Amino acid sequence: MARPDQRPPVLEADGASKAYADLVALEPLTLRVPAGQLVALVGHNGSGKSTFLRMAAGLLELTDGSITIAGEPAGSSGARAATSFLPDEPVLYDDLSVREHLAYVAALHGVAVEEADLDELLERVGLGHRADDLPARFSRGLRQKASIALGLVRPFEVLLVDEPFVGLDAPGKAALLEIFDELHGDGAAIVVATHDPTFVERVDRCLALRDGEVVHDGPATPADVLRLVGA
């Protein structure tokens, strides 16, 4: 089997940029992420991390350049089908239980799941005991766990994750890291935006942004991250 960096890219950005009038949120960014690569996207608030992820997920229009997912333009039906996006602020319905959320999202993506499968996923993220509760009323950490489960219940080739560790307790973070490792091993391309510099020790590649501009693309240590992003 080819090494991850020798595989065809499943996420490609060519001069992708975003500006709001005179404010540049993301300088032109060119990037190739092959299947099976785990990428840490690091930088302070306002560095462009969330901007890039939202553009790749098709939720934010590019000012210039292009982004494709599995060969399809970001935001197209084909790209959305291949992309799972976990936002930094979970989006949940007020009147659906956690299990009902999962069943609904799975059905939207044509996934036939048994209740036992949903319960297994909820146990993994630490919500097995809250399966029938309304996540809209959860604490920040529990809402984050529900959002993670929603992102994983559907098929994808690319997983985009924005600040997944915020609000998670230690067991929740450990469970999520284990899930990332499994998905990585199974060949998914994963891009995780995070403020946690220690996460770079687990990834294939670190992309550091500062003021909307890429300042590093390659291996990095936690100390490198703190230096690169201007901490």
Are residues 70 and 19 in contact, defined by beta-carbon separation less than 8 angstroms? no
pTM of the full predicted structure?
Answer: 0.93
* 86-101 residue pLDDT tens: 999 888 998 999 999 9
CA distance 228 to 199: 15
pLDDT of residue 179: 94
At residue 85, φ and ψ (nearest 5 deg) are -120, 125
Are residues 39 and 207 in contact, defined by beta-carbon separation less than 8 angstroms? yes
End-to-end CA distance of the chain: 39
pLDDT of residue 3: 47
Model confidence band, residue 230 (pLDDT cutoffs 50, 70, 90): low
For the record, the structure tokens of 130 come out as: 């809250």
Q: What's the mean pLDDT in 58-81?
A: 96
Q: Which of 57, 43, 73 is nearest to 210 (CA)?
A: 43
CA distance 58 to 193: 16
Q: What's the mean pLDDT in 59-65?
A: 96
At residue 56, φ and ψ (nearest 5 deg) are -65, -35
Is 209 a residue whose pLDDT tops 50?
yes
If you average pLDDT over every residue of the chain, what do you get? 92
Model confidence band, residue 69 (pLDDT cutoffs 50, 70, 90): very high
- CA 130 and chain centroid, separation: 24
* 160-200 residue pLDDT tens: 999 999 889 999 999 999 999 999 999 999 999 998 999 99
pLDDT of residue 167: 85
Q: What class is the 4-92+148-228 domain?
A: alpha beta
pLDDT of residue 5: 55
